[in-house]
């Protein structure tokens, strides 16, 4: 006798294989979304760091530490700036560190240099 069709075991095995494949795709999509969000956070933190450095280069330079916060992309980022002297006379190092608001994880740290005020 010839059967036309699948047995219950074959259908269940196909469903299990299909389910595992779909679960893998969902996991991959979730990981992609997290990666994109992380990259966006770092990009915005980089913009904040660049803004702080540009401001430090444009204004009269003050040695020491200062901090603040800035909004970018609808999120608030906390920044810390340190201005120190270098080995070369009248040449200064500016280090800016940016974190997400209420977070200890450093997203971006940028270093720039500046000559004497004119």
CATH number (domain holding residue 43)? 3.30.1300.30
Q: Is 17 among the domain residues?
A: yes
**pTM for the complete prediction?**
0.75
Domain annotation covers residue 2: no
Reading the block at residue 8, the tokens are 């219950």
- Name the residue among 79, 17, 5 with its Cα closest to residue 47: 79
Phi, psi (rounded to 5 degrees) for 73:
60, 30
- Looking at residue 2, its pLDDT comes to 64
The pLDDT assigned to 94 comes to 95
* pLDDT of amino acid 60: 86
Domain count, the chain: 1
**Containing structural domain, residue 25:** 8-114
The predicted-structure confidence for 37-67, as pLDDT tens digits, reads as follows 999 999 999 999 999 999 988 888 889 999 9
- The single-letter DSSP state of residue 113 is E
| Rounded-to-integer distance, Cα 117 and Cα 55, Å | 13
Instruction: Name residues of the chain where pLDDT drops below 70.
Output: 1-3, 117-118
**DSSP assignment, residue 60?**
P
Domain assignment present for residue 55? The answer is yes
- Is 102 inside any structural domain? yes
Helix (H) and strand (E) counts for the chain?
1, 4
CA pair distance 110, 79, nearest whole angstrom: 11
What is the per-residue pLDDT for 95?
Answer: 97
């Amino acid at each position: 006798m010839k059967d036309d069709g699948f047995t219950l075991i074959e259908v269940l095995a196909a469903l299990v294989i299909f389910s595992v494949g779909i679960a893998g795709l969902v996991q991959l999509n979730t990981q992609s979304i997290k990666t994109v969000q992380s990259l966006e956070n770092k990009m915005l933190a980089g913009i904040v760091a660049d803004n702080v450095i540009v401001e430090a280069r444009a204004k009269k330079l003050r040695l020491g530490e200062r901090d603040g916060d800035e909004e970018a992309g609808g999120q608030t980022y906390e920044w810390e700036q340190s201005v120190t002297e270098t080995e070369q006379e009248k040449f200064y190092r500016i280090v800016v560190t940016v974190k997400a608001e209420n977070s200890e994880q450093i997203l971006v740290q940028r270093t720039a240099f500046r000559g004497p005020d004119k």
